[in-house]
Amino acid sequence: MWEHNHELVVIVFSSDHIIFFRSDLIAGEAIKPGTMKEEDVNCCQIQEWYPKFKSGSIKTVIHELPESFVEYLLDDSGPFLLPHSISGEDALPNRIHNPVDEEDFQVSEGSGDESEQPPLPPSFPELELNIKESIKTLGGAVFPKLNWSAPKDSAWISPSGSLRCTSFSEIALLLRSSDSLVHDLCHAYDTCSDKTLSRPPSFFLALRKWYSSFLPEMEFRCFVRDKQLVGISQREVTTFYPTLLEKKNDLLWLIEEFFTDNVRLKFESENYTFDVYVMKDGRAKILDFNPWGAFTLPLLFTWEELEQNLREEEDGVNFRIVENQCGIRPGLKTAVPRDYLDTSPGSGWDQFLRKADKELREQKRSPENGA
């Protein structure tokens, strides 16, 4: 059923169904390699665009990552180890330590078998202290991203099930668990016609303030072709939001005005996308910039439609939202490692389902016991 060259498989949970989609089908039609320049990709790095758009974006603190931490993120030669925390923080504070399992890693005294000693976890004390201070500055909770991407595919492993982080250990867990960040680390320039780089000279970690009041239906992706706004798409395409039908015309006017006044003349590239969030008071905030095509999702459009320049065919900007339940599209709700697709007894997916079933039974039993 699945082709072996597709590394990421996506699961969409809807009521009591689990549906599998191949990730390359969800992404839509990517622009062919060779249509972008390195400078277009570089413009979309958060450390490049944020200083220019700081007043119109969300609060962010950016740290340059030491090369040793980048090497840690790329290293898959040994066991999965989280960095040692000098603050004593635990990314998974509610996890259950099983002494029986831990005995497997113990070496009996005098055995002389040093090869069985578990490797020591890495430590990044200076980075940890800097990040701890930034989290405090940003109100105690952040979500992380590298130069271009956030580790959305590893949100499932977080205790909160989201990108919300309150410590260096939680950030390291998300980054180390993410497959999508391999793009930033190794493949950011793969589709550039003038490719000379395999990676940027430096990697940066952006800590962005976490707003629990953010409404997913108020985030939109805007498509700019030849410095003209040609399309706007609802960002969260896996849900139908009736309120967007009522506000569609007002939102279109607001986003067009924001683009004209705050983005069009300030961003260097001619072709790109940007994500914008519309707040309750009517102000718009820039969340991100992405290159035109390549690894950027076209959402409710196809890249072929956008390439034809929708302005030539229609009056004004084409604004697309999910207008009914039938218009919902599959999306990156939850991504899990490929190992979890093996449902045979003892497999990761089998163990996950067994644990979920056990927890469900315990939850149903609790009221009966007066809990």
The pLDDT assigned to 212 comes to 93
Does an H or E element contain 51, and which?
A: helix 46-53
The pLDDT assigned to 31 comes to 46
The pLDDT assigned to 293 comes to 87
| C-beta neighbour count of 70 within 10 angstroms | 16
The pLDDT assigned to 11 comes to 41
The pLDDT assigned to 24 comes to 40
| C-beta neighbour count of 140 within 10 angstroms | 10
C-beta of residue 144 within 8 angstroms of C-beta of residue 200: no
Q: pTM of the predicted model, to two decimals?
A: 0.76
Return left, alpha or beta for 122; rule: phi > 0 is left, psi -120 to 50 is alpha, else beta.
Answer: beta
CA distance 347 to 263: 49
- Give the three-state DSSP class for 105: helix
- Per-residue pLDDT tens digits of the chain, which is 371 residues long: 333 333 444 443 333 333 333 344 334 444 454 478 999 999 999 999 999 999 999 999 999 999 999 999 999 887 888 898 887 776 666 554 454 444 554 555 555 555 567 778 899 999 999 999 999 999 999 999 999 999 999 999 888 889 999 999 999 999 999 998 998 999 999 989 999 988 999 999 999 999 999 999 999 999 999 999 999 999 999 999 999 999 999 999 999 999 999 999 999 999 999 999 999 999 999 999 999 987 899 999 999 888 876 556 556 799 999 998 876 766 544 444 444 444 556 555 566 666 666 766 666 565 555 44
Which residues, other chains included, contact 105 with Cβ-Cβ below 8 Å and sequence gap of 6+? Answer: 116, 118
